[in-house]
Amino acid sequence: MHYDAETRTLPHNPFKALVAPRPIGWVSALSASGALNLAPYSFFNGIGDNPEMVMFSSFGRKDALTFAEEGGEFVCSLATFDTREGMNQSSAPLPRGESEFDFAHLATAPSRKVRPPRVADAPAALECRWLQTIPLVPAGGGEAAYFMVIGQVVSMYIDDRFITPEGRVDTGAMRPIMRGGYFDYFTVESENRFEMRRPAGGGDVPKR
């Protein structure tokens, strides 16, 4: 079939089920007055590695976005199978300034280079400096509904238990959760990992 985004030929929009599974940016940020916010974002990903940069996209100017702008910093903690309930609780639409850490009974741990704390039970976290917020204006023009926040990673926390003797991070052992469509989530497992090497250029194939 061909799904038309305008005529909606399925009872449920398949977009999030097709752009999936998506990593979850569990974003903590402090406002200018020191209020603490925590919220999960599945429109999240890395966008560069030299320097390391990440982005998350917010529907509307929610607290995570405005606090990141006000404080100039944010932290992305890794959401895992073990922390799934706390992650889900932290998505509750609380009033501005009310801490999702308290609401979801999550402990904080201090960051190394930024003011916002990370989720203490998360096995990894990315400490970020806010760089810019980009309104995502649709092709037809008009007001932006989504806003993309970009940050530069200045420090990474990794639980030593998940660093191999070779100095690699065992991502699967952390069991990160990823977002699918509808109410679906997926886990990353070590036994599902496989390795592929990029082919060497040759012949008429242009080099990247």
Residue 3 lies in a domain: no
**Cα–Cα distance, 132 to 19 (Å, whole number):** 24
What is the pLDDT, as a whole number, of residue 114? 98
**Considering the entire predicted model, what is its pTM?**
0.91
Q: What's the burial of 34, exposed, middle or buried (CB within 10 Å: 0-12/13-18/19+)?
A: exposed
Residue 32 lies in a domain: yes
What is the pLDDT, as a whole number, of residue 69? 98
User: Is the pLDDT confidence value at 72 over 80?
Assistant: yes
Average pLDDT across the chain, whole number: 93
CATH code, domain carrying 153: 2.30.110.10
Overall domain count for the chain: 1
Task: Beginning with the edge strand found earlier in the chain, give each strand of the sheet holding 22-23 in spatial order.
Answer: 22-23, 177-179, 185-187
Residue 202 lies in a domain: no
User: Is the pLDDT confidence value at 115 over 90?
Assistant: yes
Confidence of residue 136 (pLDDT cuts 50, 70, 90): very high
Range of the domain at 96: 14-187
User: Is the pLDDT confidence value at 87 over 60?
Assistant: yes
Residue 9 lies in a domain: no
**Cα–Cα distance, 44 to 47 (Å, whole number):** 9
Residue 194 lies in a domain: no
**Cα–Cα distance, 39 to 99 (Å, whole number):** 10
Residue 18 lies in a domain: yes
Cβ–Cβ under 8 Å, residues 17 and 180: yes
Confidence of residue 201 (pLDDT cuts 50, 70, 90): confident
User: Is the pLDDT confidence value at 208 over 60?
Assistant: no
What is the pLDDT, as a whole number, of residue 96? 84
User: Is the pLDDT confidence value at 40 over 90?
Assistant: yes
Residue 8 lies in a domain: no
Count of H-run helices and E-run strands, the chain: 5, 12
Mean pLDDT in residue range 36-55 = 97
Confidence of residue 10 (pLDDT cuts 50, 70, 90): confident
Residue 136 lies in a domain: yes
